[in-house]
Amino acid sequence: MQAGKYFLFNDELVVSGTKTISADNRSFRFGDGLFETMRMIDGSIALLNFHLERLFASLVLMKFELPAHFTPAFLTKQIQLIAKQNKQEKTARIRLTVFRSDGSLYDYENNFPNYIIQTWKPETVTPAFPAKGLVTGIFTNARKACDDFSHIKSNNFLPYVMAALWAKENQLDDAIVINSFNRIADATIANIFIVKDGAIKTPALSEGCVGGVMRRFLINNIKQESIPIVETGIEIDELASADEIFLTNAFIGIKPVRQCGKNGYDAELSGYLFHKFLLPLFKRQI
């Protein structure tokens, strides 16, 4: 993807590549922050309200003090501003990062949010259902915690970083991450769904997965379609007996898994869900 020429750092337009945060920054030191990755299609951000609801709920949970001007409307305007500045106002991948400023663990400047907004030009205008599914494996050297903060899309990303490195070393497209109870949490940058005999399972938020925006959108629509779906714990051995596995996030939409370890899968229901729900969603942006 082509990076934008500029990014926004606390309302200031900055040339990409410019160093901005100090060595004392708490996000750098402790992962004290969170982020949203969004997809802009023809000037509109898909599932924008879901993204902003998740962001502000997480900011409250993380005990940020929000200034009066720091609102969903303000951030939306700032996103549109930097996308236009980068000449990517029609189609863009957007990353909004919010973090606390400088300080040690107990001694810090304040609890106000700082932010960075970056944009990239994606390779495709809208996501497409891939003709070839992903090849994955199960990463077992790290565990996702299951607590009040595990569903936040935080800057504390170590299990996913190590899982992604492992996947690359093993020539895999992605890695499945497990939780502290040895059950399935999610994948490195996506939520996971499994299909067995026409019924769908996905890890509950209490299982340590990120509370994905596309996950929320799909669950809502699948329930309205009266397709059986449950949010629950998923044991590792359930992957072997599944008919389908697919991954979701706000940028890729849905990607089916073709193989996990020695097990192969089809993509019948995931393809149906993509064409039923995601294509109309993305077309509404155009």
Phi, psi at residue 200, to the nearest 5°? -110, 140
pTM here? 0.94
> Which ranges in 94-212 belong to alpha helices (H)?
158-169
Enumerate residues 6+ apart whose C-beta is below 8 A from 9.
20, 114, 115, 116
Question: pLDDT of 86-142, one tens digit each?
Answer: 999 999 999 999 999 999 999 988 999 999 999 999 887 777 888 899 999 999 999
pLDDT digits (tens, 9 = 90+) for 205-246: 999 999 999 999 999 999 999 899 999 999 999 999 999 999
Q: Which two tokens stand for residue 207?
A: 């299982």
H-only helix segments in 89-183: 158-169
Dump pLDDT digits (tens) for 156-190.
Answer: 999 999 999 999 999 999 999 999 999 999 999 99
**Domain 2-121 top-level CATH class:** alpha beta
CB atoms within 10 A of CB 252: 16
Q: Where in the chain is the domain with CATH 3.30.470.10?
A: 2-121
What's the N-to-C CA distance of the chain in angstroms? 21
If you average pLDDT over every residue of the chain, what do you get?
94
Other beta carbons less than 10 A from residue 183's beta carbon: 20
Looking at CATH, the fold of the domain delimited by 134-284 is given as: D-amino Acid Aminotransferase; Chain A, domain 2 (3.20.10)
Tokens of 33: 């922050």
